[in-house]
Each structure stands twice: as structure tokens, then as C-alpha cells.
């Protein structure tokens, strides 16, 4: 299953984005601040993993990441269908590739249940010291990339 996910992520990186919405980066600013790679579930939404730090201890647990992802999922689900469709995801290629990677059943929609295993795998892969917390050292902040031009 993991090897299929890794292959899907690699293939998804080569495909262009299809939606026309402007991506939102950390702090709600235009641009893109990826979550540390194309395999990131947060890559669909932009921002920085440490935005999920609810208790402000400068580390992030998976529970904090999951709460952040659920909130972002609900905000992105504009039609309140309980699923995300490509048009509800920013046009940024990383967002679109993250969407395709999360769409486990390949039906063109992502449910919160499909997002959970990806979130857990992403977290485990970055938790280098296996202490159940991510730090800035484990998830370095990446420079925000420019958003593609709409159209």
C-alpha cells in the first residue's frame, strides 16, 4: 500500500493542476508554503505544519496535525458534501498532486477517511526521533513559491 502511495505521489507531481482558485499560503497570504513535500496531506491546503501547534509548545503532535487538517478540509469543502473535489482545491500543482495522492479509491473525490492514512504516514516519516512530536528541525520551513497565474 505504501509503495502504491509513493508511486502515485511521484506520478502526480508530473501532472498539471486543473483548478483555477488562487492558493493561500501561511497566514492566509497569497502564495504557497508547502508542508514539507508532495506527499504531505497539508500540501492540499498550503500553510506550515507548525500552524497546527495548538498548545504553542513549538512541537506538533499527530493529534494537532489531524485537528488542523480536519478544520482545513471542512473549510475547503465549500458545498458541504463531506468530500473534496478538484475544484475545491487550489490550482497550485502541489495541491493538486496531494489531492490525487489522497484519492485512494480514484473516484475524483477525497474524503476525510482517505486523508487520515496519508496524514499518519506523513507524520511517521518525518518524526525522526520517534517521540510523537515534530519540530522545526524535522519539518523545515520551505520558501513560499509563487502561485501559478489564474487561467
| CATH code of 124's domain | 1.10.238
Q: How far apart are CA 139 and CA 67, in angstroms?
A: 18
Number of folded domains that form the chain = 1
Are the C-beta atoms of 9 and 101 separated by less than 8 Å? yes
Task: Find cell 497550485 and name the residue.
Answer: 92
Judge whether 145 lies within some domain: no
Structure confidence at residue 149 (pLDDT): 47
Q: Tell me if 96 is assigned to some domain.
A: yes
Would 78 be classed as within a structural domain? yes
CA dihedral 115, 146, 128, 53 (to 10 degrees): -70
User: Could you read off the pLDDT tens digit of each residue along the chain, which spans 151 residues?
Assistant: 444 433 333 333 333 332 333 333 334 333 434 355 555 677 788 777 778 889 999 899 999 999 999 999 999 999 999 999 999 988 878 788 888 889 999 999 999 999 999 899 989 988 999 999 998 888 776 554 444 444 4
8 found inside a domain = yes
The answer to whether residue 26 is domain-embedded is: no
146 within a domain of the structure (yes/no): no
Domain containing 123: what range?
2-14+35-46+56-134
Identify whether 129 is part of a domain.
yes
Contact 103, 49 (CB under 8 A): no
Amino acid at each position: 500500500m505504501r509503495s502504491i502511495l509513493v508511486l502515485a505521489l511521484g506520478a502526480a507531481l508530473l501532472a498539471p493542476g486543473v483548478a483555477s482558485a488562487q492558493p493561500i499560503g501561511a497566514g492566509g497570504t497569497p502564495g504557497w508554503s508547502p508542508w514539507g513535500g508532495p506527499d504531505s496531506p497539508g500540501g492540499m491546503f498550503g500553510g506550515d505544519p507548525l500552524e497546527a501547534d495548538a498548545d504553542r509548545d513549538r512541537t506538533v503532535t499527530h493529534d494537532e496535525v489531524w485537528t488542523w487538517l480536519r478544520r482545513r478540509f471542512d473549510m475547503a469543502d465549500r458545498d458541504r458534501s463531506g468530500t473534496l473535489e478538484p475544484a475545491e482545491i487550489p490550482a497550485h500543482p502541489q495541491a493538486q498532486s496531494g489531492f490525487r495522492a489522497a484519492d485512494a479509491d480514484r473516484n475524483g473525490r477525497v474524503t476525510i477517511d482517505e486523508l487520515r492514512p496519508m496524514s499518519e504516514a506523513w507524520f511517521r516519516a518525518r518524526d525522526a526521533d520517534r517521540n510523537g512530536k515534530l519540530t522545526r528541525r524535522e519539518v523545515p520551513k520551505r520558501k513560499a513559491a509563487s502561485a501559478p497565474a489564474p487561467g
